[in-house]
């Protein structure tokens, strides 16, 4: 569990009684963001008709997110493209940087993912109420449900709506933490089983690394696409 420890880097910074010191978590957030900015900046420095490799990377990620949004939330979600793009890239890069040995995985901390998810939840709810007024509450009343079941359904809908930030944040956090823990455990086996028995867990470790890279991408994608789906609910009231 050592890899999940947060520790202070540099001096203790306090605003009043609140500790906002720069930590290794902050460091890796910064590294991820800078990596995104540097990569995309190189990719957009020379806009040529036939893209270079970096430009292709930037444009591919742009069109990937753009397609994801237009597929799930439609054209009304265009103003939120920049936010979802940043969100996707940030989560993806944090996950990927976590795959480097001895690094720190920002997204393996519930507080980080929960803040992101809560921000999305509150933002989406506000957008919903702005777009549809009090009619946004119709989201909790699905059409075509018998009157007898309606009270039950409404309660379930409200609970599921309220659990969105929790499920969104816990999904990402648990995936990252479980993956890293698994790798740590298998790594421990390689040492404890030694030269004779250690090969099996080593091969597991190698396979798990591949899996974790997949999961790192997949979870970023899932996080972004669920955001799109929530946004879709707020923009186009389907129920």
Partner 1 sequence: MLKKIVFNLILFSFLNYGKALASEEGMPQLNPEFWISQIFWLTLVFGSLYILLSKFILPKISNNLEARKSQITENIEAAERQRNESDEKLNDYEKKINDAKNEAKNIFNQAREKILRDINNKKEILEKEINEEVNKAEKEILDFKKESPEKINKIAIETSAILIKQIIGAEVNNSNISAIVKDISKKNEGKNYGN
Site size for partner 1 (CB under 8 A) = 57
Residues 167-196, interacting with partner 1 (CB under 8 A): 173, 177, 181-182, 184-186, 188-189
Residue 8: how many CB atoms within 10 A of its CB? 13
Beta carbon of residue 233, minimum distance to partner 1 (angstroms, whole number): 22
The yes or no reply on residue 103 touching partner 1 (CB under 8 A) is no
The answer to the question of residue 64 lying near partner 1 (CB under 8 A) is: no
Q: E strands along 166-216, which residues?
A: none
Q: Is 92 exposed, middle or buried (0-12, 13-18, 19+ CB in 10 A)?
A: buried
| Smallest separation, CB 169 to partner 1 (Å) | 11
| 2, 102, 146, 147: residue in contact with partner 1 (rule CB under 8 A) | 2
> How many C-beta neighbours within 10 Å does residue 165 have?
21
Spatial neighbors of 136 by CB under 8 A, at least 6 apart, are 125, 128, 129, 234, 237
Examine residue 200 and tell whether it contacts partner 1 (CB under 8 A).
Answer: yes
Is there a contact between 231 and 127 (Cβ–Cβ < 8 Å)?
yes
Note the Cα 93 to chain centre separation in Å.
Answer: 10
Most distant CA pair in the chain: distance in Å? Answer: 68
Cα 222 from Cα 202, distance rounded (Å) = 29
* 8 Å CB contact between 124 and 233: yes
Task: Using alpha carbons, list the distances in angstroms from residue 3 to 6, 105, 218.
Answer: 9, 8, 22
Establish if 98 lies at the interface with partner 1 (CB under 8 A): no
Among 64, 83, 140, 217, binds partner 1 (CB under 8 A): 83
55 binds partner 1 (CB under 8 A): yes
Contact pick of 10, 20, 67, 152 for partner 1 (by CB under 8 A): 20
Region from 111-119, 138-146, 205-213, 219-227 binding partner 1, contact rule CB under 8 A? 111-119
Q: Which residue has the tokens 């867990």?
A: 201
Contacts of 21 (CB under 8 A, 6+ apart): 8, 9, 10, 11, 12, 13, 14
Q: Which is nearer to partner 1, 155 or 206 (CB)?
A: 206
Stretch of 39-47, 123-131, 134-142, 148-156 contacting partner 1, by CB under 8 A: 39-47
- Residues composing the chain: 239
Give the per-residue contact string, 126-155, with partner 1 (x = CB under 8 A; - = no).
Answer: ------------------------------
Q: Which residues bind partner 1 (CB under 8 A)?
A: 1-2, 4-6, 8, 18-23, 25-26, 29-30, 33, 36-37, 40-41, 43-44, 47, 49, 55, 58-59, 62-63, 81-83, 85-86, 89-90, 106, 108-112, 115-116, 173, 177, 181-182, 184-186, 188-189, 200-201, 204
């Amino acid at each position: 569990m050592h890899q999940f420890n947060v520790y202070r880097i540099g001096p203790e910074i306090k605003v009043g009684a609140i500790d906002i010191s720069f930590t290794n978590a902050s460091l890796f957030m910064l590294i991820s963001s800078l990596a995104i900015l540097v990569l995309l900046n190189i990719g957009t420095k020379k806009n040529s008709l036939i893209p270079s490799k970096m430009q292709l990377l930037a444009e591919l990620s742009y069109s990937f997110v753009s397609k994801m949004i237009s597929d799930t939330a439609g054209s009304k979600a265009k103003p939120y493209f920049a936010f979802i793009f940043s969100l996707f890239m940030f989560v993806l890069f944090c996950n990927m940087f976590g795959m480097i040995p001895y690094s720190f995985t920002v997204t393996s901390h519930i507080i980080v993912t929960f803040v992101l998810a809560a921000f999305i939840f509150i933002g989406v709810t506000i957008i919903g109420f702005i777009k549809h007024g009090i009619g946004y509450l119709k989201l909790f009343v699905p059409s075509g449900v018998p009157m007898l079941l309606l009270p039950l359904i409404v309660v379930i809908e409200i609970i599921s709506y309220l659990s969105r930030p929790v499920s969104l944040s816990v999904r990402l956090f648990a995936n990252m933490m479980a993956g890293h823990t698994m790798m740590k455990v298998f790594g421990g086996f390689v040492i404890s089983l030694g030269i004779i028995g250690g090969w099996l867990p080593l091969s597991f470790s190698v396979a798990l690394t591949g899996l974790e890279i997949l999961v790192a991408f997949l979870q970023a994608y899932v996080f972004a696409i669920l955001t799109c789906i929530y946004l879709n609910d707020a923009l186009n009231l389907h129920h």
